[in-house]
Amino acid sequence: MLDAVIDEGRRTAARLGIGFGVVVFARRNADPSEAIKTARLAARRADNGVVAFGLAGDEARYSPEPFAGAFAIARDVGLISAPHAGELAGPASVRAALDVLGARRIAHGVRVVEDPALLTRLAAEGVVLDVCPTSNVALGVVKSLSAHPLPLLLHAGIRCTLNADDPLLFGPVLLEEYETARSAFALSDHQLAAIARTSIESSGAPPTLVDEAITLIRAWLDTSDHARTSAGQEAPRLHP
């Protein structure tokens, strides 16, 4: 099944002129031995379509310790450690993802704002949070978009990406999440460009694709700045 996903993903990516990579997830509610098998499967395709290894499920009910061995297998072959944490459980789950699983990307992670010391650690270590605002509201992780902590995370220096979490369930696709970030959080073009750059830099994509994407992001931002200047508007700025 994984090979079929990789083959079709590559064909579609080639047709559309984009990149493609898979994050393989283990399940918290399954026996840890299954995670070991899944990690070995992902590891065998580390240079052939798979870029990261994750852990999905309710982190409030299932601790990460039983899955440390699986993540060690994945990290040993260069896969990015990208577990879920800080969504259904609080900052302790994020800290465990860092200490037990060696996380470099964390799916969601938004409840880290409850722990200032952990915020500082994430910023210092350059750990990326894959943030899904619409999903967070739909699942009750935050009460509303106006209460969402993404602006606080960015202000704290946390590297964040924007993501569409299960569009079939929650509705918005990726572009709509960027539009929401602009309208609901008043993020500037510079902030949105920084998020996009973080997305590609932390994706596990080949360096040539990363360089090409960053060039396109810069071009978009230059065009945006020029348009604002021509209209007599002040160019948008990042938070300090």
The tens digit of pLDDT for each residue in 160-185 reads 999 998 888 888 899 999 999 999 99
Percent of the chain with pLDDT over 70: 94
Does 165 map to a domain? yes
The pLDDT of residue 232: 65
Is there a domain that residue 238 lies in? no
Q: Which two tokens stand for residue 179?
A: 């539009």
From 82, 84, 35, 81, select the one nearest 56 (Cα to Cα): 84
pTM: 0.91
Digit-coded pLDDT (tens) for 118-135: 999 999 999 999 999 999
Q: Give me the active site residues, please.
A: 87
pLDDT tens digits, one per residue of 39-51: 999 999 999 999 9
Q: Which of 122-155 are b and which e, b meaning 16 or more Cβ less than 10 Å from the residue's Cβ?
A: beeeebbbbbbbbbbbeeebbeebeebbbeebbe
Alpha-carbon gap, residue 149 to 178, rounded angstroms? 15
Q: 3-class SS at 132?
A: coil
239 has a pLDDT exceeding 50 = no
| Tokens linked to 180 | 């929401």
CA distances from 226 to 178, 218, 220, 221, 239 (A): 21, 12, 10, 8, 20
pLDDT at 104 over 50: yes
**Chain segment 19-31, per-residue pLDDT in tens:** 999 999 999 999 9
CB 65 within 8 A of CB 100: yes
Q: Return the pLDDT at 169.
A: 85
Residue 85's pLDDT band, with cuts at 50, 70 and 90, is very high
Kindly state the average pLDDT of the residues 226-236: 62
Question: Do the domain assignments include residue 239?
Answer: no
- CA Rg value for the chain: 18
With pLDDT > 90 as the criterion, what percentage of the chain qualifies? 88
What's the rounded Cα separation, in Å, for the pair 81 and 93? 15
Q: Which residue has the higher pLDDT, 188 or 234?
A: 188
Number of structural domains the chain divides into:
1
For residue 21, tell me if it sits in a domain. Answer: yes
Inside any domain, residue 235: no
Q: Name, in order, each residue with C-beta under 8 angstroms of 186's C-beta and a sequence gap of 6 or more.
A: 151
CATH number, position 69: 3.20.20.140
Averaged over 230-236, what is the pLDDT? 59
Going by C-alpha positions, the residue among 105, 92, 104 that lies closest to residue 65 is: 92
The pLDDT of residue 170 is: 85
Q: Which helix (H) or strand (E) holds 106?
A: strand 105-108
35 in any annotated domain: yes
DSSP at 114: G
Give the residue, 58 or 234, on which the prediction is more confident: 58
Name the residue type at position 224.
S
pLDDT at residue number 225: 76
**226 pLDDT tier (thresholds 50, 70, 90):** low
What is the extent of the structural domain holding 48? 2-230
Residue 108 lies in a domain: yes
pLDDT for the residue numbered 166: 84
d(CA 62, CA 146): 30
Residue 117, CA distances (Å) to 2, 35, 51, 162, 171 in order: 39, 31, 30, 23, 34
